[in-house]
Structure 1
């Protein structure tokens, strides 16, 4: 199973080698970091929690800061259920869009656009009433909602109400292109939600190739911190030497003036 988090950028079109035009959705996906690995024995479910995006520290709750201890503060965190514990991922592992390849079929989950309160024509596609032959101001009304005998409205009756702003899943979408340098996926067709909305992209087949393990990340951060400390120490030493030289020159000038 492969999965990743991303945000919708918009739609465009690409040309295949045979000249056909394919409408695609641009998705900014990854890099993602593993924030927690859950198992059925301890958490009641086998799942991998991954984080995506960046967030300022003061916007992250204290409890979440503790949960992300040792990791960068992320904006989104979502769980992906796994069939077992053989996924090979560990806390702190990082991966990018390179886990996907063109031609794969993916499942995309997102939140649809909110439409507010809508009538039955827009919400359910009712045909409406005739505009003539005795119908007055009834073109978009639902009509009868039940008979006299039960004296109630059955559950599930299609009526006016809130439309959109719901979790929507679209399956079997083709990955047309992968851009690792730009962290982008090109997915054929439309995906749920507005631009900037969070998307959960997954496939049931394949395994995730980790770009950087937690151990490698720790070693890299240690090398960088040592370099920064060394640079700061060197700069401080040079500044101290400069101050001593200025002090000595000032003393010499004062002695010359006294003579």
Structure 2
């Protein structure tokens, strides 16, 4: 069954296995999510889910009307996903963390941490110049293109600029533990973003 959920990143810690090995894990507070809309496209169900209740005064009138149409509370975050299975899903149905299969891998999407304006070495892993006395090319980029022809720098040239703060997808992450009581998911390894960031979880 294809399932999507929305949650927040709590932080990182480590869990010790039965063999005494320390496993680095990321803790995520996932759901519960509510189905807010269902429509079909190319024989696939497109399911929209909402996460985190919010005061209607903080949303636009069209968004408030979208929830009011189906007699639903207002949610801060919405996302859509395709559902190919024939299981009956209704508007207003609550999707909880216990629907995630612990023995299957999941994909997680989130916005990475912003590093601000970064130089060539940090952003693109360029090698630096000689550090000896007399060298004037320690951390400079060197040549960025030809002169008269073409007489310009091609778009996409790797140069200094803003680093991070991009949508990052990580596939095939292993689930270490699921806490149904507190809606907490322990994922092996790291997840994009800083604590408090919204994460989107997908399991096929």
Q: TM-score, normalised by structure 1?
A: 0.72
What is the number of residues matched between the two proteins? Answer: 200
The runs of 5 or more residues in structure 1 that have no matched partner are 205-259
Residue 72 of structure 1 is matched in structure 2 by 73
Quote the residue 1:142 is aligned against: 141
Aligned partners of 2:100 and 2:203 also within 8 Å: no
Does the C-alpha gap of structure 1 residues 111 and 128 become closer, same or farther in structure 2, counting only changes over 3 Å?
same
Higher Cα Rg: structure 1 or 2? Answer: 1
Contact 2:110 2:169 in 1 (8 A): yes
Match of 1:159 in 2: 159
Higher RCO (CA < 8 A, seq sep 6+): 2
CA contact (8 A) 1:39 1:85 kept: no
Check if 1:54 corresponds to 2:43: no
Superposed CA deviations along residues 150-171 of structure 1, whole A, max 9, x for unmatched, are 3222333211111111100011
Q: Give the C-alpha shift of residue 202 in structure 1.
A: 0.6
Which string of whole-angstrom CA distances, capped at 9 and with x for unpartnered residues, describes residues 65-96 of structure 1?
A: 111121122111111133x4635322111011
Q: 1 CA distance for matches of 2:87 and 2:142?
A: 54
Alpha-carbon distance in structure 1 between the residues aligned to 2:87 and 2:199: 21
Deviation of the 1:57 alpha carbon: 2.5
Does the CA contact (< 8 Å) of 1:101 and 1:178 recur in 2?
Answer: no
Whether the aligned pair in 1 keeps the contact of 2:35 and 2:94 (CA below 8 Å) is: yes
- Whole-Å separation in 1 of the counterparts to 2:35 and 2:9: 21
TM-score (norm 2): 0.91
Deviation string 1:140-188 (CA, Å, 9 cap, x unpaired) is 1111111234322233321111111110001111011100100110011
SS at match of 1:53: strand
Q: More helix by proportion, 1 or 2? A: 1
What's the CA shift string for 1:33-71, capped at 9, x where partnerless?
Answer: 001112116xx9742110111212221222111111211
SS state at 1:58 partner? helix
The match for 1:26 is: 27
Gaps of 5+ in 2: none
Secondary structure in 2 aligned to 1:121? helix
Q: Give the CA RMSD over aligned residues.
A: 1.8
Kindly tell me: are residues 135 and 81 of structure 1, through their superposed partners in 2, closer, same or farther at Cα, counting changes over 3 Å? farther
Hey, what's the Cα distance between the residues in 1 that align with 2:151 and 2:75? 53
What are the equivalent positions in structure 2 for 1:97-112 lying under 5 Å apart?
Answer: 97-112=97-112
Find the aligned partners of 2:142 and 2:174 in 1 and give their Cα distance: 42
